[in-house]
Chains A and B, each alone.
Chain A
Amino acid sequence: MSSRSGLGLAALAALALFLAGCASTGGEQAQPMDSKTAAQSALSGFSLGGINVGSAFGAATKAQEAFGEVTEPQEIEMGKSIAAGLLGAAPLEKNALEQKYVNNVGLALARVCGRPELPWHFGIIEAPQINAFATPGGNIFITRGLVERIKTESELAGVLAHEMAHVVQKHHLNDIRKHAQKGLVLDLAQLKGGGGLAGEAARAVARVGLEGYIRGLSREDELEADAIGVVIAARAGYEPYGLPSVLQTLATVPSSNADMALFLKTHPSPSDRLTALEAKLPPWFDTLAKPNPALVRFNQTFKQQAAAAKK
């Protein structure tokens, strides 16, 4: 305990500031960029939201931009730190073929999510809890406990797309900015140097990020991620009812199940989410759902893995 607070003080002292002018982050979330906008920002280097990364790692130059205080490279470095922190709590599942499969689904979604230029990574975490996580910068995790509740590739896509929507909308990034100590400045150089992911700056970022997973995002952020997630899945060619189908399943897990505790603490109830999502779906959404026999590969993939694991 004492070492933690000691580290925290050291890290605070070590960090360069990062939250300059962050008071303007409240209010409306930006809509996801369309692919054209995303392509343009990819073309103009690392610019996102009009920030020129080349200018400085520190203070933002265009305060009028919604996310002007954090450059995309900074966001990516923060995400690495937080991902390494999560993986310090529980490691990746060892099954390479399953990990590859999840990356294929995720990267298919990444192409149409609005931020295709991010270095997206996807992983199954070896943990019995039922949950999924997104870090800023595009690292997406799903627990073994949740994978076991998933029946189809469309459902997997729905879960990943929900998490990706948090990244596209910068929900966690904004949450971190809101809750980080005023005056905390995140210097990209500090993150990259000073011991890498095990360095003090990275540890401090990881701690703030991981606290966010315990606190949870707002109800509005979660419902927004559901509504964006189904569209991302549909854009990639999946029938978009995978996410609500998973929510149907999760609604049956008793709240007394300890593996659901954190998920239920940090999300609206699955049944509430279904009600909210249904209200947002226009009538034509049904027409996006066509049976796709090719996706039976989901069962084949995971059954092969189970058979291999038994040997």
Chain B
Amino acid sequence: MRRSLALLCLALAASVVGAEPATTIRAVDLKARAASDAKTIASLPINTSVDLVRREGAWVQLRSGKDLGWAKLFDIRLAGATTGPTKGGSNSLGDVLGLASGQRGASVTTGVRGLDEDMLRRAQPNAAEFDKLVSYASTKEQVDAFLKAGNLQTRTVEWLK
């Protein structure tokens, strides 16, 4: 119990690193909890600038002025499309790891061509690298253990219409 509480704290801490600027794409009722039947604490018009504080499944916690409440993930778009190339998810893995700058933007300066159109056109098969790919495959037992440790349970969900 204590362990899962500690994990929960870690998880929350991880998802709270830095608020991300966002904009509502429709009129949004800010909810007191992450639930449709929760109390509405503020009504935001379309195109309201907000800060995304936390993600939780279908919901995002938003700050708008002094109001802090929940809306749907699909109610917003993150800001930043017009900012510089190193902006983006402020707590993305790359940023957390300090890998963000230098690999983005002008790829001509990186010396790594990677998977652009030209490289795809000129690629010669690399059989040894494919063998390496195969070597990373997990055994059934490893996947079982991975699912268990991740508290992941298979469930029945219909394909969407």
Please list the residues of chain A having a beta carbon within 8 angstroms of any beta carbon in chain B. 31-32, 80-81, 83-92, 96, 99-100, 102-105, 107-108, 111-112, 119-123, 125-129, 131, 133, 139, 143-145, 147-153, 196-198, 202-203, 206, 210-211, 213-214, 227-228, 230-231, 234-239, 241, 244-245, 248-249, 251-259, 261-262, 271, 274, 278, 280-282, 285-286, 288-297, 299, 302-303, 306
Contact = CB atoms under 8 A, between A and B. Distances in A.
A130 to B, nearest CB: 9
21 contacts: A83-B130, A87-B126, A111-B143, A128-B107, A131-B115, A145-B104, A237-B155, A241-B57, A244-B74, A248-B76, A252-B78, A254-B82, A256-B85, A259-B105, A261-B116, A288-B157, A291-B11, A293-B4, A293-B10, A299-B93, A302-B93
Contacts of B65: none
A152 B36 CA distance: 24
Given A96-B136, A107-B143, A253-B88, A87 B158 contact: no
B120 A213 contact: yes
B147 A251 contact: no
A129 B127 CA distance: 22
A252 B87 contact: yes
Contacts of A236: 152, 154
List 5 A-B pairs, minimum CB-CB distance, nearest first. Answer: A289-B57, A127-B114, A148-B94, A237-B152, A252-B80
Nearest to B35: A286
Interface in B102-156: 103-108, 110, 112-117, 119-127, 129-130, 132-134, 136-138, 142-143, 146-147, 149-156
Nearest to B112: A128
Chain A CB count within 10 A is highest, among B89, B91, B97, for B89
Contacts, number: 284
A242 to B, nearest CB: 9
Contacts of A144: 103
Chain A CB count within 10 A is highest, among B82, B113, B125, for B125
Interface residues on B, range: 35 or more
A289 B102 CA distance: 35
Interface of B: 4, 7-8, 10-11, 14-15, 36, 55-59, 73-74, 76-85, 87-89, 91-94, 96-100, 103-108, 110, 112-117, 119-127, 129-130, 132-134, 136-138, 142-143, 146-147, 149-161
Given A128-B114, A147-B93, A251-B78, 6 more contacts: A92-B133, A105-B146, A143-B115, A289-B56, A294-B149, A296-B10
A149 B159 contact: no
Nearest to A197: B127
Given A237-B147, A248-B78, A252-B79, A303 B97 contact: yes
A121 B136 CA distance: 8
A303 B99 CA distance: 11
A259 B107 contact: yes
Contact of A235 (B107, B117, B133, B156): B156
Contacts of B122: 89
B91 A83 contact: no
Contact of A100 (B76, B88, B136, B154): B136
A122 B134 CA distance: 8
Chain A CB count within 10 A is highest, among B59, B85, B136, for B136
B48 to A, nearest CB: 17
B136 A99 contact: yes
A144 B92 CA distance: 13
B77 A251 contact: yes
A107 to B, nearest CB: 5
